[in-house]
């Protein structure tokens, strides 16, 4: 066995960035395509990349041995996910049976966690929208989400798609948010039990009487219809493991910290039952008794001997 450790501090830092942590990094997305793509699909993938510029990796080569829904076709994806440290991926392919196919997937520990296969229809690219360029949302801003439709709750596929889309476009989970930085929203409307309309809009905040500004939506970004074709939910054990939250600090009973005394605790001693306790053999008080007992024994002996 040999220890292989990085030789430079920089390499060590990079490896530590990819280590599992309590509070995780932003999920990175891997965008790639299979052997055959259509023009529509190409623009879908590029625009997805533009939306997620800071934390996305786009591959330009054709990958013919990636078939996410088949058991053997996932190894390449897992390998790429491991190499680029991406836990989300968007795989585009085009065939006669499944035109403009987009597989959105998530990984856990660089193994496939779940998949949703959607078909892209009625795609409108960013260039086709005309709007005031000053409104354009900035890269990396946290988006708002609006999901419309009861189907997102009732239909399994759409329920799954909802969480996947949320995961995809959410970005960093932050505690403090700068209110001037909210400038985009994703509006997803369920059109039927299998189709949704996804729109990306910029926000314009308008003055209103109160401190809360009035919101106005301006469509800027790609708009497409997503038709859910297949999906694969994660296995029970994997789901349970991935949803684990770090243990909250266990409450230690009986210990308090005082400013003056410091850390104090209470000790509970059980009652001493004085009457039942056996006496030890070395008590000073018993000396006389023992001495007397000895003397009596000796005198008795002498008596019997003399007799």
Tell me which of 60, 71, 128, 211 binds other proteins, using CB under 8 A. Answer: 211
Distance CA 32, CA 42 (A): 10
Q: Is 252 helix (H, G, I), strand (E, B) or coil?
A: coil
Closest to other proteins by CB, 37 vs 157, is 157
Q: Which of 63, 107, 59, 60 lies closest to 86, judged by CA?
A: 107
Distance CA 213, CA 206 (A): 5
- Find the binding residues for other proteins in span 247-306 (CB under 8 A): none
Annotate each residue in 113-132 with x if it binds other proteins (CB under 8 A) or - if it does not, as one string.
x--------x----------
Task: Using the structure block, give the residue that is written with the tokens 């029970």.
Answer: 236
Judged by CB under 8 A, the number of residues near other proteins is 78
Q: Which of 227, 192, 222, 195 lies closest to 123, judged by CA?
A: 222
Annotate each residue in 147-186 with x if it binds other proteins (CB under 8 A) or - if it does not, as one string.
xxxxxxx--------xx--xx--x--xxxxxxxxxx--x-
Q: What is the DSSP string of 10-25?
A: HHHHHHHHTS--SS--
Annotate each residue in 227-246 with x if it binds other proteins (CB under 8 A) or - if it does not, as one string.
-------x----x-xxxx-x
Closest to other proteins by CB, 95 vs 193, is 193
Nearest approach, Cβ of residue 204 and other proteins (Å): 10
Nearest approach, Cβ of residue 124 and other proteins (Å): 10
Tell me which of 187, 194, 230, 233 binds other proteins, using CB under 8 A. Answer: 187
Q: What is the DSSP string of 118-134?
A: EEEEEEE-GGG----GG
């Amino acid at each position: 066995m040999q220890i292989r450790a990085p030789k430079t501090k920089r390499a060590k830092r990079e490896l530590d960035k990819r280590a599992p942590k309590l509070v995780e990094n932003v999920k990175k997305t891997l965008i790639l395509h299979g052997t055959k793509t259509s023009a529509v699909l190409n623009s879908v993938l590029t625009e997805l990349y533009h939306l997620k510029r800071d934390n996305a990796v786009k591959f330009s080569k054709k990958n013919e041995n990636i078939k996410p829904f088949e058991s053997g076709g996932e190894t390449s994806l897992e390998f790429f996910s491991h190499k680029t440290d991406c836990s989300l991926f968007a795989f585009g392919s085009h065939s006669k049976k499944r035109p403009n196919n987009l597989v959105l997937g998530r990984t856990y520990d660089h193994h496939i966690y779940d998949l949703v296969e959607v078909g892209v229809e009625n795609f409108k690219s960013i260039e086709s929208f005309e709007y005031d360029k000053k409104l354009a949302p900035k890269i990396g801003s946290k988006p708002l989400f609006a999901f419309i439709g009861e189907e997102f709750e009732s239909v399994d596929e759409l329920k799954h798609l909802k969480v996947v889309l949320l995961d995809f476009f959410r970005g960093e989970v932050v505690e403090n948010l700068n209110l001037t930085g909210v400038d985009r929203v994703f509006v997803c409307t369920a059109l039927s039990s299998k189709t949704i309309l996804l729109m990306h809009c910029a926000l314009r905040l308008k003055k209103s009487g109160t401190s809360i500004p009035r919101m106005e939506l301006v469509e800027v970004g790609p708009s497409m219809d997503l038709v859910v074709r297949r999906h694969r939910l994660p296995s029970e054990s994997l789901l349970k493991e991935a949803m684990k939250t770090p243990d909250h600090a266990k409450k230690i009973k009986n210990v308090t910290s005082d400013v003056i005394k410091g850390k104090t605790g209470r000790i509970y001693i059980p009652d001493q039952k004085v009457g039942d306790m056996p006496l030890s053999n070395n008590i000073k008080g018993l000396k006389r008794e023992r001495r007397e007992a000895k003397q009596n024994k000796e005198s008795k002996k002498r008596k019997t001997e003399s007799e």
